[in-house]
Amino acid sequence: MPAMWHPDDPQDGILTVHIDRQDRPVNALSRTTLEELAELLGQLRVREDLRGVLFISKKPGNFIAGADIQELQSLATAEDARQISEYGQQVFAELESLQIPTVALISGACLGGGLEFAMACRYRLADHHTKTSLGLPEVQLGIIPAWGGTVRLPRRIGLIDALPMILTGKTLNGYQARSRGLVHDVVPTEGLHSAGQRILKTLNDYRIRKVAESKLFRPRKQSMWKRFLNSNRVVRGMILNSAEKRVLKTTHGHYPAPQRAIVALRAGLESDALAFGAESQAVADLAENSVTAELIRLFFLQEAGKKPPEGFRKLADQAAVNQGAVVGAGAMGAGIALLMARKGIWTRLKDLTPEFVSTGMQAIRKSLKSQTKRRRMTPLQADQALDHISPATDYRGLQNADIVIEAIVEELDVKRQVFGELAEATNERTVLATNTSSLRVCDIAQGIPHPERIVGLHFFNPPHRMPLVEVIRAEQSSPESVATALALSQRLGKTMIVVGDCPGFLVNRLLAPYMNEAGYLLTELADPLAIERAAIEFGMPMGPLELTDLVGLQVAGHVAQNMFESYGERMQPAPIWGLLEEAPENGKSPLKSILVKKRRGKEVNRHIARQINRYRKDQGLPDGQTVKSKTIMKRLVYPLINEAAICLAEGIVETE
């Protein structure tokens, strides 16, 4: 029985091959499935009764998710990696050279080897589905596309658009893929198969390929300067040089895969054969690299985090979340409400005044407009999301809510009051979740009727971009309530971790000593930006000062104080944080940021610098010192590691 490729009987000379890997929940390419594809292609090559072949997946939301990562992880030697790369290149070359036209009908994830397969087909159609995503994310696993991706993607869409996909793993939805020329058209999901049939019938009717294509597809619009840049060999070499500098600046040499991808792309300027060879050599070298091993391990951890833990899986599967509400229409609350609405959950957005609610709805409309403009959603999808949100200034309509998420000010008394009101406004089965970042869930639940339905559901700002959600199981939280919170998180596409109930939970508890040490360094260093450089050089996505600005000085200061009150001396906030939180800017409003943008890059806000100098003078401290980058990083990271060990010992999390 076929393992993955299932051909039907031809209809009017058109063969449909269903892609359905029997032993996996998603379609993934392995040595076995490649061998099966090669056998199928050999049969197609000698058939004279076919006018074309359609490839379509039978798994909803999944075309081909890429290579089988478990098989990749099990490769014993570099030579094994080279051989599987060369074999995949050979099979896809045979697909590309078929005389009969082939059409990839893409619905759902078309990633890595899946996209490399689709690019070897003559035509590609994508659908409107929200799960449809095309990309080459291999670099995120510490490897590079090795079945012709570095050759075919620049050929299909041009080097400029191909670079972010190959070097960063950027993905495209159907509309974005069409605008770049990666797919020939985008059609409704239910019309995908018939659209593929129409392509093959039109090709047969007109015979002349260019005439048929002019009838089928609208011409791709590309600016004159982009055509020039993509077609000029010398310019493409300069583009790759510039890309290499950006990669080194971004990765600081920690991740070798993007650099090896550039080597393969540069080889492609000479010939396809050299590029294919560079791909295989890169995969062979990277397969034995320790960074690759750790990135693959991280991938499996992230995949596991997208599903509820084993102990809650059955309950979470039974928890249907169709109606919900968010209390608090600030940036966080509005963002969570939009996430829920985009997933088809009927959501009420509640705040105290019409003005507050209006501000939240304006932020939602702005976000939808931006995402529509970037082709991340269609205008219809934006309208549907907006239709699923109902603004409110009272609690009416919450009796049927499956879950309500509180996202208001980080003050215990205020939260208790709101939860008391929610307990009266909802039914006994409605799960009440707090988005608190530093207070204990059990303290919020104290005195509230049916406290077993109260859990923590901690999103990170901005909620539409940050993948992690902490699900907090307090002492009084029932397994059913935790399962409902997990079910919602899974529906929103988040990576979930279940943590114990303690101030700061896991992430903020680890972050607090890291940020506090940054505050002490801020008063000691002659160049505060050395803190940022050391953190980024270590591998952090941003420095602690930029992170503080993202969170907000006032919020960061409030959380730091809560953590100190809970954990004592080891969470002692650096004195400068309190001074900065209270210090007015220009004598009027509170300071908003530590860093400000200038033409030459970011600089320390002059008001911040003035406060630091004043603090040094008041405390009798010397002027700023110069400290080695490694010393700075140790001071930042070691307290974080120590706190992680304490969390493990306390059972706040169960696994490392």
The least confident of 270-279, 399-408, 514-523, 599-608 is 599-608
Q: Which residues, listed in sequence order, are joined to residue 349 by a DSSP beta bridge?
A: 326, 391
Q: Is the pLDDT of residue 514 over 70?
A: yes
Q: Which residues, listed in sequence order, are joined to residue 2 by a DSSP beta bridge?
A: none
**Bigger pLDDT: 571 or 35?**
35
**Bigger pLDDT: 465 or 553?**
465
Task: Grade residue 115 by pLDDT with cuts at 50, 70 and 90.
Answer: very high
Task: Grade residue 472 by pLDDT with cuts at 50, 70 and 90.
Answer: very high
pLDDT of residue 584: 58
Task: Grade residue 588 by pLDDT with cuts at 50, 70 and 90.
Answer: low
pLDDT of residue 581: 63
Segment 148-155 shows an average pLDDT of: 95
Q: Is the pLDDT of residue 121 over 90?
A: yes
Segment 39-50 shows an average pLDDT of: 93
pLDDT of residue 487: 93
Q: Is the pLDDT of residue 377 over 90?
A: no
Q: Contacts for 75-81 with beta carbons within 8 Å, 24 or more apart?
A: 75/287, 77/287, 77/288, 78/284, 78/285, 78/287, 78/288, 79/284, 80/287, 81/283, 81/284, 81/286, 81/287
Segment 27-34 shows an average pLDDT of: 94
pLDDT of residue 211: 78
d(CA 18, CA 27): 11
pLDDT of residue 109: 95
Segment 306-325 shows an average pLDDT of: 85
Q: Are 398 and 425 in contact (CB under 8 A)?
A: yes
Closest CA to 503 of 652, 604, 350, 655: 652
pLDDT of residue 1: 65
Q: Is the pLDDT of residue 21 over 90?
A: yes
pLDDT of residue 583: 59
pTM for the full model? 0.84
Q: Choose the most confident range, by mean pLDDT, from 116-130, 539-553, 602-616.
A: 116-130
pLDDT of residue 589: 53
Active site (catalytic) residues: 470
Q: How far is CA 507 from the centre of its chain?
A: 18
Q: Give buried/exposed letters for 252-268 (b at 16+ CB in 10 A, else e).
A: eeebbbbbbbbbbbbbb
Q: Is the pLDDT of residue 464 over 90?
A: no
Q: Are 325 and 348 in contact (CB under 8 A)?
A: yes
pLDDT digits 0-9 by tens, 225-281: 777 777 778 888 899 999 999 998 888 888 899 999 999 999 998 899 999 999 999
pLDDT of residue 212: 74
pLDDT of residue 590: 61
Average pLDDT value for the chain: 90
Amino acid, single-letter form, for residue 573: P
